[in-house]
Structure 1
Amino acid sequence: APQLLDRSVLESRVREVEEENRQIRLQLSQSQASAQLPPDGAQQWGASADTGPEDGENTAEERGNNTDCPRAPPVSKCELIHVACVCAGHNASRDVVTLVKSVLFHRRNPLHFHFITDSVAHQILSALFQSWMVPSVQVSFYDAETLKSEVSWIPNKHYSGIYGLMKLTLTKALPPDLSQVIVLDTDITFATDIAELWGIFRKFTGNGEQVIGLVENQSDWYLGNLWKNHKPWPALGRGFNTGVILLYLERLRRMRWEQMWRLTAERELMSMLSTSLADQDIFNAFIKQNPVLVHQLPCFWNVQLSDHTRSEQCYTEVSDLKVIHWNSPKKLRVKNKHVEFFRNLYLTFLEYDGNLLRRELFGCPSPSSPQSVQLQSALEQLDEDDQCYDFRRERLTVHRVHLYFLHYEYPRTDNGSDITLVAQLSMDRLQMLEAICKHWEGPISLALYMSDAEAQQFLRYAQASEVLKNRKNVGYHIVYREGQFYPVNLLRNVALRNAPTPYVFLTDVDFLPMYGLYDYLRRSVVQLDMSHSKKALVVPAFETLRYRLSFPKSKAELLSMLDMGTLYTFRYHVWPKGHAPTNYAKWRTATTPYRVEWEADFEPYVVVRRDCPEYDQRFVGFGWNKVSHIMELDAQEYELTVLPNAFMIHMPHAPSFDISKFRSSPGYRHCLSTLKDEFHQDLSRK
């Protein structure tokens, strides 16, 4: 340990000497060039006095490219850049993805993201990055719960709550050997390579004084004149905004940052009583007492857009705009005459296809994850001359998955018989969601197959719907579109894995459950002792050809409509084998559950324990996707039991693209037949 310490001290000293030499060279070159510059040309608004060309000021480009000297890259080619974010809850998890996309779009360096998260954001982001598989990107998570005690004593009026104070704890939260990190709010969008910002660490003064890089605040908040009796926390002039921070962790730890910010907070809270802008108030009070510790960044590294900013003065004076910060809960509704330009920049990344960001960084060694090695090996084993290559390739596609895309709450029940409705859909079935929510009051787990742009359309649709926005127990899991087939069984598995209850109702989104089915199924689970037996409870399926249906309120009413021809047993005219074993004739008069035997091509909708077998993902597009699952349930000796007082009704819709492909393509039908045979063989081996 002492040897390591000596080495790190030596390395630190070498870096300081190199920095001092660089500063001397810089001063020499500036003094030689000073005769050619206008007297006030060296300083732009918002930039610190000691900033040089690396900050983007007075570069060759801005002086008309009148030099032959190439601009030095801010960091070396394969240098690892560290980025930290505090991210808690469903909404912040969505916002941070847009930030990450903008960083990935411009980056040319390996990245290591450090996320301080609650349990919700951890689950969402770990699943997202694992399925995103972006080369040369590492991700680490830190439990915010263990850090709460560090800041919970500080009263905070800001909407960010306790998480808005967590940036103060980063010297403790992040690994002790991490010396520098860029800290970002989740509502940041990059318009340039983050390496330029990382390169500014090299401009922090070599004597070790500067430890924090910040942009001046572009609102009048800290000037204290926004309204009568407005009393902000102390700050240096306009103060600084903490949406973008360069933290020199190594130096902060040496100067005992934790004790220093605590003392500052305790002193100010005696008169201020609480923070109004969370961590920003404490950072500013600290900097006012210790101004030499801050390295002021040029304003374009944090252009703050809200209703009370002078950000326009910044971006109209610079030729380059690098970071946009929507620093207001009102976000995109700010009254700014250039807001359309900024909104379009933001929307570009919001709706950008994240699959396109899986780019290799050539020339930089990047250790492959076990997942990518396994995937590559499986791909190499495929025969590209195989007529069914596309089907087999599809099974190996790793789709990006964003779990719990909207806010989700599930109040756990104690009786152990709760049931989640499980289904999947794409954009063309979105209109079914409101009706299903009206028919099923229990928890729902849905996998939605969408592009990035469609996911944003869905978000707007859900937030505008009175029915959907008031339902918190619906888990919406986005599986991002990729490949040429609809991965129906992958979608079902995503929805199934994320059901929170011990039992699941496996259905399709174009069926409406009878009113009261949720309560009836929960009672049936208890009465049929599902917890101690392997049963699959069959919910009989019917259909209507009418878009406007007076939905039957009871079994008697349904039987009457069946006799009148306004309802039919499901698919009786095109695929009778699919539901014939349900034995509709017996169901008409049944008053107690009855067992049925499995038959070939049977594909009922069932209630089972959540630990049932998953769907076989070789079946994509149309055909055999549910049949194979029921066949596996039977092979595992599940009893198929039809419920006498349950029903569901299929609502009419246009045929899917995949069924059209199946009907029109002999090659499609041939490959489905081949996959069926292989499934049979695999099931026999099992």
Structure 2
Amino acid sequence: MHRFPPTVQKTCCSEGLLKPCFPCTDGRSLLLSPCPLDQSEPRYLERDLLESRVREMEEENQQLRLQLSQSQVAAVQGQDGSYGNAQWVASADTGPEDGENTAEERSTQKGNHTTCARRPMVEKCELIHVACVCAGHNASRDVVTLVKSILFHRRNPLHFHFITDAVAHQILSSLFQSWMVPSVQVSFYDAEELKSEVAWIPNKHYSGIYGLMKLPLTKALPSDLTKVIVLDTDITFATDIAELWAIFRKFTDKQVIGLVENQSDWYLGNLWKNHKPWPALGRGFNTGVILLLLERLRRIGWEQMWRLTAERELMSMLSTSLADQDIFNAFIKQNPVLVHQLPCFWNVQLSDHTRSEQCYTEVSDLKVIHWNSPKKLRVKNKHVEFFRNLYLTFLEYDGNLLRRELFGCPSQPSADSLRSALEDLDEDDQCYDFRRERITVHRLHLYFLQYEYVPTDESVDITLVAQLSMDRLQMLEAICNHWEGPISLALYMSDAEAQQFLRYAQASDVLKHRKNIGYHIVYKEGQFYPVNLLRNIALRQANTPYVFLTDVDFLPMYDLYDYLRKSIVQLDLAHTKKALVVPAFETLRYRLSFPKSKAELLSMLDMGTLYTFRYHVWTKGHAPTNYAKWRTATTAYKVEWEADFEPYVVVRRDCPEYDQRFVGFGWNKVSHIMELDAQEYDFVVLPNAFMIHMPHAPSFDISKFRSSSSYRHCLTTLKEEFHQDLSRKYGAAALKYLTAERNI
């Protein structure tokens, strides 16, 4: 084996130069180790001789490494790949410079076992940084599936960096805040601030301006962030992202970008006649998965370099066809030494015109699947069913299961506070499950579908507010036919049910054209239906000054939206504390010829086709509405609060929220109306408004209330505690509620 001459051995860490050090004097260490760079030394000079010697040594070292690995088989057989506090893989610094594993490494890595020399992949609690550009409602849904696939496999803390528009920021910030995944940090960066960096580039790609925003990431991300994995939103991971993070160790001192070769013929220019792609190195590279050494990129002047490249090529190409990918490839064509080619299984690109099937011999070899086509799941590939099923697994996977702790790594303060709150509960309390429900944090995905409504008349506009679960989904189309105004809905669903709802809404001729409905998914967790939490979420997302608080199994009369807006003006809700009562009726018939006027409704009431709401089982709930007076009323009239009053009302959006201690069936609306009265709202019945409850099967919660004495006991306990809290909040004036309750 060659020994380095003294002149070469001298160029080592002792001089503070960024040069490979070869502590070979004892013949034991042959791995390169990077050292700090002397900033005064010209970059990349005096390295050619050293690199040529390294290449010579590599050829000899290949045989030596193989002999070493074979001698260590006995020492590593039976191990699971975990040593001490670090994760291990085959040495990341001993592979070829193009990023491909050697033949012997590939042959011994099947099934995550290896007989190669081993070294730490990432430290146990090493923080992995991931960046995504995410804009709009659809991309926000897609990125959740990507995140699920990463969280499922990960064993390290993660820091997600999202470049977002206002829509995605609102959606993802509430999602991660409510998700509360341990050892996950999230940062957001305003895409508006980056638009000026790339808006000058004409782009024909369907991603629009957001498809160019990976280019200025060195400027957008924190200056102290040295490296990051950049991902498209249509990516699915099939392995631990730490394996990808470890590839940074394979970069040479010159390399700054890690990419997988493009698997289509796009950059070869032979897809159709006169096809003229941007310049690229061979097949070019795909930018769905990128490793960026940010520190080095800033050092070599990346911002100026990609701009100059884009300006030069646009003089002849006029626009980009593949957004940032064209500019990255043109840059690499001019600077090939700066790219580190990743193995193709780190970005298996699925579309109708790729050679992705040549990338793997078995699907178990795959690391990352990239749905690299506007057609997404409809692409042609002989293994597409396998890929689709893998994707659907994460799409419908219960995200609550990903809230697992990373033992040995610091947890977030929010997780600690929730754990402390749970520990304070008495598990022997008969109502433990009710009290636990109150502190449960449900995952929340706001604006699950596209929402574009902007109030046209902000002074009087009104939003219908309601909540529902999967068994009430069929009511949505009917409500839309009766109410043309904005709607805010909280939907209590599992991850799988949310996808069923998505397919239902996209296939509905009624729903797919309505853009003024905000659908907010609250993911299932716990034993009870959190009805008042759902109402509060829908209420908070209403973006009009007034709200109509109703339930999804009621159909409002035709033109109620216009009638309520006129009533708001006439009764001066802007300057008075009023709750406008919409009288409620019900039918026991599943098919009903809906009344078109008050006169028609009264006729149906007299014929027994309709009844006042809950006339047979709970008359107290709506008796104060005074239906006898309403029959002949032509003007609005005031009614007084009575015990158990629970009308459906129109109020200002700044009304008090619902009390979330009440879950499932019982007292959820009663408590809210009681607090409105405590705040001195006047209840005013509208003379020409009505709504009709449509029949449906009893809910699971009402069945529990009727069959469980324990359930009824806990509801009584919660009512007493609510009365006490109301008295502390509103003083002596609230004593009347306790008195009224005792007189029932």
TM-score (norm 1): 0.94
Please report how far the alpha carbon of residue 63 of structure 1 lies from its aligned counterpart in structure 2 after TM superposition: 11
Distance of aligned partners of 1:84 and 1:564 in 2 relative to their CA distance in 1, 3 Å threshold: same
Please report how far the alpha carbon of residue 375 of structure 1 lies from its aligned counterpart in structure 2 after TM superposition: 2.3
Please report how far the alpha carbon of residue 80 of structure 1 lies from its aligned counterpart in structure 2 after TM superposition: 0.4
SS at match of 1:327: coil
Tell me how far apart the structure 2 counterparts of residues 316 and 82 of structure 1 sit (CA, whole Å): 30
Q: Is contact 1:55-1:200 (8 Å) kept?
A: no
Q: Is contact 2:97-2:251 (8 Å) kept?
A: no
Match for 1:162 among 209, 221, 230?
A: 209
- CA offsets, 1:397-442, max 9 Å, x none? 0000000000001122234110000000000000000000110000
Match for 2:195 among 141, 148, 155?
A: 148
| Aligned twin of 1:210 | 255
Which residue type is aligned with residue 247 of structure 1?
A: L
- Confirm whether residue 311 of structure 1 aligns to residue 356 of structure 2: yes
| Aligned twin of 1:273 | 318
Q: Is contact 1:265-1:282 (8 Å) kept?
A: yes
Match for 2:620 among 541, 553, 577?
A: 577
Q: Is contact 2:584-2:690 (8 Å) kept?
A: yes
Distance of aligned partners of 1:151 and 1:65 in 2 relative to their CA distance in 1, 3 Å threshold: closer
| Aligned twin of 1:185 | 232
- Confirm whether residue 605 of structure 1 aligns to residue 652 of structure 2: no
- CA offsets, 1:623-661, max 9 Å, x none? 000000000000010000000000000000000000000
Match for 1:632 among 672, 675, 697?
A: 675
| Aligned twin of 1:20 | 32
Please report how far the alpha carbon of residue 376 of structure 1 lies from its aligned counterpart in structure 2 after TM superposition: 2.7
- CA offsets, 1:156-212, max 9 Å, x none? 00000000000001000000000000000000000000000000001100xx31000
Q: Is contact 2:96-2:102 (8 Å) kept?
A: no
- Confirm whether residue 594 of structure 1 aligns to residue 594 of structure 2: no
| Aligned twin of 1:324 | 369
Tell me how far apart the structure 1 counterparts of residues 423 and 459 of structure 2 sit (CA, whole Å): 46
Distance of aligned partners of 1:66 and 1:531 in 2 relative to their CA distance in 1, 3 Å threshold: closer
1:2-21 alignment runs, 5 A limit: 17=21, 20-21=32-33
| Aligned twin of 2:63 | 31
| Aligned twin of 2:109 | 61
Tell me how far apart the structure 2 counterparts of residues 445 and 31 of structure 1 sit (CA, whole Å): 68
| More off after superposition, 20-29 vs 212-221 | 20-29
Tell me how far apart the structure 2 counterparts of residues 10 and 355 of structure 1 sit (CA, whole Å): 52
Please report how far the alpha carbon of residue 104 of structure 1 lies from its aligned counterpart in structure 2 after TM superposition: 0.2
Q: Is contact 1:53-1:59 (8 Å) kept?
A: no
Tell me how far apart the structure 2 counterparts of residues 344 and 362 of structure 1 sit (CA, whole Å): 30
Tell me how far apart the structure 2 counterparts of residues 264 and 164 of structure 1 sit (CA, whole Å): 17
- Confirm whether residue 506 of structure 1 aligns to residue 549 of structure 2: yes
Distance of aligned partners of 1:62 and 1:541 in 2 relative to their CA distance in 1, 3 Å threshold: closer
| More off after superposition, 78-87 vs 222-231 | 222-231
- CA offsets, 1:68-122, max 9 Å, x none? x674342111110000000000000000000000000000000000000000000
Distance of aligned partners of 1:555 and 1:319 in 2 relative to their CA distance in 1, 3 Å threshold: closer
| Aligned twin of 1:435 | 478
Which residue type is aligned with residue 369 of structure 2?
A: I
Tell me how far apart the structure 2 counterparts of residues 561 and 15 of structure 1 sit (CA, whole Å): 91
1:41-52 alignment runs, 5 A limit: 49-51=97-99
1:217-236 alignment runs, 5 A limit: 217-236=262-281
Q: Which runs of 5+ in 1 are unaligned?
A: 1-8
| Aligned twin of 2:306 | 261
Q: Is contact 2:97-2:340 (8 Å) kept?
A: no
- Confirm whether residue 240 of structure 1 aligns to residue 272 of structure 2: no
Tell me how far apart the structure 1 counterparts of residues 420 and 681 of structure 2 sit (CA, whole Å): 35
Please report how far the alpha carbon of residue 365 of structure 1 lies from its aligned counterpart in structure 2 after TM superposition: 2.3
Q: Is contact 1:55-1:298 (8 Å) kept?
A: no
SS at match of 1:150: helix
Q: Is contact 1:220-1:309 (8 Å) kept?
A: yes
1:485-634 alignment runs, 5 A limit: 485-634=528-677
Match for 2:715 among 655, 672, 676?
A: 672
- Confirm whether residue 358 of structure 1 aligns to residue 403 of structure 2: yes
Tell me how far apart the structure 2 counterparts of residues 624 and 11 of structure 1 sit (CA, whole Å): 77
Tell me how far apart the structure 1 counterparts of residues 292 and 20 of structure 2 sit (CA, whole Å): 17
1:385-464 alignment runs, 5 A limit: 385-464=428-507
Tell me how far apart the structure 1 counterparts of residues 260 and 213 of structure 2 sit (CA, whole Å): 19
SS at match of 2:175: helix
Q: Which runs of 5+ in 2 are unaligned?
A: 1-12, 23-30, 35-53, 70-89, 730-744
Which structure has more RCO (C-alpha within 8 Å, separation ≥ 6)? Answer: 1
| Aligned twin of 2:4 | none
Please report how far the alpha carbon of residue 33 of structure 1 lies from its aligned counterpart in structure 2 after TM superposition: 4.8
Q: Is contact 2:98-2:342 (8 Å) kept?
A: no
Distance of aligned partners of 1:568 and 1:28 in 2 relative to their CA distance in 1, 3 Å threshold: farther
Distance of aligned partners of 1:631 and 1:260 in 2 relative to their CA distance in 1, 3 Å threshold: same
TM-score (norm 2): 0.86
Distance of aligned partners of 1:397 and 1:529 in 2 relative to their CA distance in 1, 3 Å threshold: same
Which residue type is aligned with residue 486 of structure 2?
A: P
Larger Rg over CA atoms = 2
- Confirm whether residue 109 of structure 1 aligns to residue 152 of structure 2: no
Count residues with an aligned counterpart.
665
Tell me how far apart the structure 1 counterparts of residues 66 and 446 of structure 2 sit (CA, whole Å): 57
Q: Is contact 2:97-2:250 (8 Å) kept?
A: no
Tell me how far apart the structure 1 counterparts of residues 113 and 401 of structure 2 sit (CA, whole Å): 33
Tell me how far apart the structure 1 counterparts of residues 337 and 523 of structure 2 sit (CA, whole Å): 48
Q: Is contact 1:492-1:615 (8 Å) kept?
A: yes
Distance of aligned partners of 1:254 and 1:671 in 2 relative to their CA distance in 1, 3 Å threshold: same
| Aligned twin of 1:477 | 520
Tell me how far apart the structure 2 counterparts of residues 248 and 55 of structure 1 sit (CA, whole Å): 27
Please report how far the alpha carbon of residue 372 of structure 1 lies from its aligned counterpart in structure 2 after TM superposition: 3.0
Q: Is contact 1:81-1:195 (8 Å) kept?
A: yes
| Aligned twin of 1:467 | 510
| Aligned twin of 1:338 | 383
SS at match of 2:187: strand
Distance of aligned partners of 1:554 and 1:318 in 2 relative to their CA distance in 1, 3 Å threshold: closer
Please report how far the alpha carbon of residue 13 of structure 1 lies from its aligned counterpart in structure 2 after TM superposition: 5.7
Tell me how far apart the structure 2 counterparts of residues 280 and 155 of structure 1 sit (CA, whole Å): 13
Please report how far the alpha carbon of residue 228 of structure 1 lies from its aligned counterpart in structure 2 after TM superposition: 1.0
Identity percentage over the alignment? 84
Tell me how far apart the structure 2 counterparts of residues 54 and 74 of structure 1 sit (CA, whole Å): 17
